[in-house]
Structures are given as structure tokens and as C-alpha cells.
């Protein structure tokens, strides 16, 4: 159990309506990592069980190159972004402004809610 009362690495998927024909919401904790490049980028790693759900839905959700549009919520901070496929899983981009507002730092494992819908 993490400090937010969520089980570490556990995913609670719930489909609103019939399976896969409407919005899908996933809740999980994901470790914040840094990806070094010309400028550092921060991502939350989607755990394998949530990544499997996303992978199954990807053909209906992607707008190309395996990228999945998503609405992300950490605490009271919500924004839209696109999940990046990486090594059979997915990464949630954490923009600096949202990371700061949510109080999330490198190595943290925040509780994340992803809302997925078709493009």
C-alpha cells in the first residue's frame, strides 16, 4: 500500500457502458522516471496489467504510431496528453507544470487515473 492508500502496482479498470465501445477509466500507481534527451522529460510508467488493457484497446484508440490520447488525473490536477508506447508498455508524459501542481517528483509513485476514449 502506498501513501495514498492504493495498492502498489494494482490496476482497477472500469469500462463505462459495454466493454470497449465507450470511454475506459484505469486507476493505478506508476513510478515517475526521467528520460534524458536534449531536454529531460518525465513520465509515469503504466504497470503491466494496465498496459495490457490499453494494448487490447489500442487499435480502437490510437490516432497513429501507437500513441493513445488520454485524460490524466493526479490528485486534483487533470490534463490531456497522449500515452507513448515503450518496450511493450506505455508511458504517461508528465509536463512540468502539471507535475509541479500535483507535487510529483522523480521516483514518486502517484495514484493516476487515465480516461481513454477514441480519437
* pLDDT attached to residue 35: 86
Q: Are 70 and 82 in contact (CB under 8 A)?
A: yes
Residue 18 has pLDDT above 70, yes or no: no
The residue among 30, 9, 16 whose CA lies nearest residue 86 is 30
* pLDDT attached to residue 83: 93
* pLDDT attached to residue 16: 37
Quickly count: other Cβ atoms within 10 Å of residue 81's Cβ: 17
Domain residue limits, the chain: 14-108
Q: Are 109 and 32 in contact (CB under 8 A)?
A: yes
- Residues 6 or more apart whose CB falls under 8 angstroms from that of 90 comprise 46, 50, 51, 54, 68, 83, 84
Residue 8 has pLDDT above 50, yes or no: no
Residue 5 has pLDDT above 80, yes or no: no
Q: Return the C-alpha cell found at 115.
A: 480516461
> Which tens digit of pLDDT belongs to each residue from 58-91?
888 877 777 889 999 999 999 999 998 889 899 9
* pLDDT attached to residue 62: 79
Residue 12 has pLDDT above 50, yes or no: no
pTM here is 0.77
Quickly count: other Cβ atoms within 10 Å of residue 14's Cβ: 9
Domain 14-108 has CATH 2.40.30: yes
Amino acid at each position: 500500500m502506498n501513501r495514498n492508500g492504493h495498492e502498489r502496482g494494482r490496476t482497477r479498470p472500469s469500462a463505462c457502458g459495454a466493454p470497449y465501445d465507450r470511454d475506459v477509466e484505469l486507476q493505478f500507481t506508476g513510478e515517475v522516471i526521467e528520460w534524458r534527451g536534449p531536454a529531460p522529460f518525465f513520465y509515469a510508467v503504466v504497470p503491466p496489467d494496465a498496459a495490457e488493457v490499453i494494448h487490447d484497446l489500442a487499435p480502437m484508440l490510437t490516432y497513429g504510431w501507437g500513441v493513445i490520447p488520454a485524460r490524466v488525473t493526479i490528485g486534483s490536477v487533470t490534463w490531456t496528453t497522449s500515452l507513448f508506447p515503450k518496450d511493450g508498455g506505455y508511458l504517461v508524459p508528465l509536463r512540468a507544470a502539471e507535475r509541479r501542481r500535483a507535487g510529483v517528483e522523480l521516483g514518486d509513485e502517484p495514484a493516476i487515473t487515465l480516461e481513454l476514449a477514441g480519437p
